[in-house]
Amino acid sequence: MSFESLGLIPELLKAVEKQGYTTPSPIQEKAIPLVLERKDVLASAQTGTGKTAGFTLPILQILHQTKKEGRRPVRALVLTPTRELAAQVHKNVMDYSQYLDIKSTVIFGGVNAKPQIKSLKYGVDIVVATPGRLLDLIDQRALSLGRVDILVLDEADRMLDMGFLRDIKKIMAMMPTKRQNLLFSATFSKEIKKLAEGILHKPVLVKAEPENSTAEKVVQKTYRVDQGDKIEVTIKLIADGNWKQVLIFTRTKHRANKLSEKLVKAGISSAAIHGNKSQGARTKALASFKSGAVRVLVATDIAARGLDIPLLPHVINFELPNIAEDYVHRIGRTGRAGASGEAISLVDINEVEYVEGIEKLLGEKLSSEIIAGYEPTAKLAPNKPKQGNNRNQNRNKSRNSKPNNSSSGGNNSNRRNNNRGRR
């Protein structure tokens, strides 16, 4: 199978060739013809398999072939949950459209809105945006969605997790009822399927990988360790292995900052990236990590969506996510596009049940090891209540927690909605 056989026009084939792509990935092979046929698509594919090109290439072709003279109304809208993902998708749009007369822009919070408003002034064909800033600019009458012909929800699972459902519904109400809808997601949960039922019209279901699968070439390990030893163990693993590029996940912003500071004190260059960081700081940290100037990038889940890091060899779960599906997405940062990678999880006594939830989701056991000198000493309390491993349990816990509960690590959905504009 070649890109040409998928029905793409010469201008796009030239752009694809310039990017070094020769053979379409499974998700591209399945999705591109369907989008070109103007079908609604519900697609799930493992991260790193080329989802973005799977919808971007056919959308560009449709816009090119149906382009009319005169002012450019927004005809395609791509919604993403995070700034980093919005920036990455827009970069792909720019790369693929370089031989076409198609204009695009990206809109997200955390930066001055004036340049974004200016980019919209003379009309654009495609807008890539996060929901919060998009609604802000619509309120300022900087753009209209009245002519949108194609809507894409990218990483829809994360948008639901971040509390964007209400914003998504507001945005959809501003668009024509008759339009093409594409929903792409790293995982297929019940919530995603329910969302799809309310958006998509006779959708074609596309799965490039088994649901909630992990890359075959990712070696997964867990190390049992006490919480108080995790920082030392992290430093030891990186130093002893002489690892040059490591992405570490924490559950909270505070822990990300603390871990990054400890790594720097140990002589390991590091930067933290999370929702409280300015967009400039986040962009600089990611650029330094990609270039090799920084060996370790410590990130929270919210900041990590859209991190496109080719050939990333190591991922460490400093703390396991309390939503099993997020584990799949985290370790999907490595082992991308057929490359090998290693995903290590540091598991304390209170996270053992999270491991069980992950194993149930994956349908396989994760190997468990103990590092000499860091043998765990903590024991599970006899009557300790079980912790929620699924998405619904976690959401109920968030709803019932007090607003000032700092131990939630920023997972409270109300707080997410209140912070909408910053995204």
Domains of the chain (ranges; CATH) run 4-207 (3.40.50.300), 218-389 (3.40.50.300)
CA–CA gap between residue 301 and residue 176 (Å, rounded) = 33
Backbone φ/ψ region at 20: left (φ over 0), alpha (ψ -120 to 50), beta:
left
CA–CA gap between residue 176 and residue 123 (Å, rounded) = 18
| Side-chain half-sphere exposure of 344, counting CA atoms within 13 A | 21
CA–CA gap between residue 155 and residue 25 (Å, rounded) = 18
Number of helices (H), then strands (E), in the chain: 17, 14
SS3 224: strand
Residue 334 pLDDT: 66
Chain centroid offset of residue 138 CA: 24
Residue 117 pLDDT: 95
Residue 189 pLDDT: 72
Give the predicted TM-score (pTM) of the model: 0.66
Per-block mean pLDDT, blocks of 10 residues, the chain (423 long):
91 93 89 96 76 94 88 93 88 95 93 93 94 95 95 87 87 94 81 84 80 63 94 95 93 92 95 82 86 91 65 89 80 62 92 91 88 84 46 43 39 42 45
